[in-house]
Structure 1
Amino acid sequence: MNLCIDRIHAWRTWLAAPLVAGALVACTPAFKAGPLADEVRPSPNYGARRVSLVVIHHTSNGSALPALRTLTNPLSEVSAHYLITREGRIVQLVEEGERAWHAGRSRWGSINDVNSASIGIELDNDGVEPYGEALMAALYRLLADLRARHQLTALAFVGHADVAPGRKVDPSALFPWSDMAQRGFGLWCDAPYPEPAAGFDVALGLQAIGYDLGAPDAAAWSFGLHYGGRLGGLAELDPAHVACVAAAARAAGAP
């Protein structure tokens, strides 16, 4: 318990006094930190699971502090495995082997409970600003480490809006998915796109990528947000664009 108390005293420079009490409850000497974590802030909001996805979020805050308060407050019932600050500091909140509460009601491919199969990463970004160089450099380091240790393919890296279409919009249209894909973290297609096969079905193409078709127009909107297409429903999507990404998903090992 002395180690836990020492941690709480160290956190007082970051967190307000009422939050320290919550952090004390959550603190545990058995926390297994990832090798790239600069800091550990144990959150109580998790359960056990295994990893096959990495879900990217933005905090919607102007600084990391309010996000940390929310993510470590037992009353919020919200958490993530990591938060990366604008300065590029990697803060671990939940052990990778545990089920953080970050994705909510969500689905990707055959995964009905995304929290049970994913690592959640919150980025210190308000949703309307560009993603800074220090933050992205830290994210790429963390993703490379996660990819190696959990044996993930490019298919594993998605945004919150992808797994919760119509409900979430993070990590915003400013997130550099093209650069991510060049590093093997996700898929991407640049125009001009090859002509799709005759009779190509856009909705089935979205489903092949991983999108939930419970709300097809919402899935189409999330596709546009991620892949740089027009933001709209199924009718607004370029079939060739969807077919290109679906083909890339199949090439990467999608069923």
Structure 2
Amino acid sequence: MDELIHRDTPSPNWNERKLPVSMVVLHYTGMKSAQDALDRLCDPAAEVSAHYLIEEDGTVHRLVAEDKRAWHAGRSYWRGITDVNSASIGIELVNPGHTLGYRPFPEAQMEALIPLLAGIMARHNIAPANVVGHSDVAPVRKIDPGELFEWEVLARYGLALATPKPRIRLLHENPGAFFLSLERFGYDVADGRAAITAFQRRFRPRIVDGELDGEVGALLFELLLARDAAEDDDCGGDDFPW
């Protein structure tokens, strides 16, 4: 583990967990530089932090120990969990974000993320379906890590759900049925349009319009099938921790 960490940059912004770790939340920093982000994440007055920060050149900082509750997710929800900070490891990826010049995540940054994420998932027995973006757990408030993040790179290593190729278009005559399925998948659907937008940003980034269409419905159907089959295989049908 320690060979993957280049710098210990301790943040004072943490407290004790109230839940076991069952997920990873990926963020972008949305600030001009890595140093600006580190300064904020380590500022007691800011009351924000993460467990790790990865610079664009691949330098990995450890800010908060994994057994502690970092303050990265804010008001959020995933698969029935409302205290996402207690249940998650937070990883910040240095990127200026949509307001300061959003750009692709460099290869060196992704290459540093892959082994770090793999180790976290192995230590905490985290399923690929529970590796999510900040926008997934806070669809009304957040849009990171955004449309340019390469989820498929993680999926190739079994570190995130792959985006399926829908075999059909699935139109929902009753949108309520779609939202029930989307909630079952994990999203907070209190704001339906925001939830659809977050789902699109993650699984269909080429069109992010918040509209329910046949492709979105089919994607969700295929994802639920794939996720549930994988978790049945992993867990033998036992109760899940969420």
Shorter-chain TM range is: 0.7 to 0.9
> Secondary structure, in 3 states, of the residue corresponding to 1:68?
helix
| Structure 1 residue 167 corresponds to structure 2 residue 135 | no
Greater relative contact order (CA < 8 Å, ≥ 6 in sequence): 2
Q: Which runs of 5+ in 2 are unaligned?
A: 233-239
Provide the C-alpha distance between the structure 1 equivalents of 2:200 and 2:208, rounded to a whole number of angstroms.
5
Partner amino acid for 1:39? Answer: R
> Secondary structure, in 3 states, of the residue corresponding to 2:4?
coil
Partner amino acid for 1:249? Answer: R
Q: CA deviation at 1:189?
A: 2.6
| Distance change >3 Å, CA 198–CA 212, structure 1 → 2 | closer
Aligned residues: 223
| Structure 1 residue 56 corresponds to structure 2 residue 30 | no
Provide the C-alpha distance between the structure 2 equivalents of 1:152 and 1:163, rounded to a whole number of angstroms.
16
| Structure 1 residue 36 corresponds to structure 2 residue 4 | yes
| Structure 1 residue 248 corresponds to structure 2 residue 226 | yes
Sequence identity of aligned pairs in percent? 43
| Distance change >3 Å, CA 34–CA 153, structure 1 → 2 | farther
Q: Which runs of 5+ in 1 are unaligned?
A: 1-32
**CA RMSD, 1 decimal:** 2.1
| Distance change >3 Å, CA 35–CA 108, structure 1 → 2 | farther
Aligned to 1:233: 210
Aligned to 1:209: 185
Partner amino acid for 1:52? Answer: S
What are the residue-to-residue correspondences of 1:131-150 with 2, within 5 Å?
131-150=105-124
Aligned to 1:20: none
Provide the C-alpha distance between the structure 1 equivalents of 2:172 and 2:72, rounded to a whole number of angstroms.
40
Provide the C-alpha distance between the structure 2 equivalents of 1:44 and 1:51, rounded to a whole number of angstroms.
20
Partner amino acid for 1:239? Answer: G
Q: CA deviation at 1:215?
A: 1.2
Higher mean Cα deviation, 159-168 or 44-53? 44-53
Q: Deviations over 1:129-161 (max 9, x none)?
A: 000010000000101111111111112200000
Partner amino acid for 2:210? Answer: G
TM-score normalised per structure 1 = 0.81
Q: CA deviation at 1:240?
A: 0.9
| Structure 1 residue 191 corresponds to structure 2 residue 159 | no
Answer yes or no: is the 8 Å Cα contact 2:25–2:90 preserved in 1: yes
What are the residue-to-residue correspondences of 1:108-147 with 2, within 5 Å?
108-127=78-97, 128-147=102-121
Provide the C-alpha distance between the structure 1 equivalents of 2:68 and 2:11, rounded to a whole number of angstroms.
11
Provide the C-alpha distance between the structure 2 equivalents of 1:178 and 1:68, rounded to a whole number of angstroms.
28
> Secondary structure, in 3 states, of the residue corresponding to 1:167?
coil
Partner amino acid for 1:92? Answer: R
Aligned to 2:66: 96
Q: CA deviation at 1:234?
A: 4.8
| Distance change >3 Å, CA 35–CA 207, structure 1 → 2 | farther
Q: Deviations over 1:200-239 (max 9, x none)?
A: 8321221121001111111100000000153233534631
| Distance change >3 Å, CA 180–CA 207, structure 1 → 2 | same
Answer yes or no: is the 8 Å Cα contact 2:200–2:210 preserved in 1: no
> Secondary structure, in 3 states, of the residue corresponding to 1:235?
coil
Aligned to 1:82: 52
Provide the C-alpha distance between the structure 2 equivalents of 1:123 and 1:238, rounded to a whole number of angstroms.
27
Aligned to 2:235: none
Answer yes or no: is the 8 Å Cα contact 1:163–1:212 preserved in 2: yes
**Larger Cα Rg: Structure 1 or Structure 2?**
1
> Secondary structure, in 3 states, of the residue corresponding to 1:244?
helix
Provide the C-alpha distance between the structure 2 equivalents of 1:247 and 1:188, rounded to a whole number of angstroms.
12
Candidates 186, 194, 201, aligned match of 1:218: 194
